[in-house]
Amino acid sequence: MDWRERALCQGEDPDLFFPIGNINSGPLAIQTDEAKSVCRRCPVREQCLAWAVHADPVEGIWGGTTEGERRAMRRRTARTPGATETAA
């Protein structure tokens, strides 16, 4: 079974995970927080995050992170010799 089939987001409105605009303010910040709360409970969050980091660039909330958060993760990993990313 593919990890995506076990993801909790499968039972949610897909639009929840794709906020449009500046996610740091107003209703979009609330939407982002709601999407991340689904991710926090998800049994496949780590697989989802690993996929999104490796598939760069991926829009939306994946593995409980925004596109900007994943970009920062990749930069930190690139600057840290011998660092490894979340296992798929």
Binding-site annotation, residues for [4Fe-4S] cluster: 9, 39, 42, 48
Q: How far apart are CA 21 and CA 23, in angstroms?
A: 6
Q: Cite the annotated binding site by residue number.
A: 9, 39, 42, 48
Phi then psi dihedrals of residue 82, to 5 deg: 80, 5
According to DSSP, the residues that pair with 65 across neighbouring strands are 62
CB 70, CB 52: distance < 8 Å:
yes
CB 62, CB 35: distance < 8 Å:
no
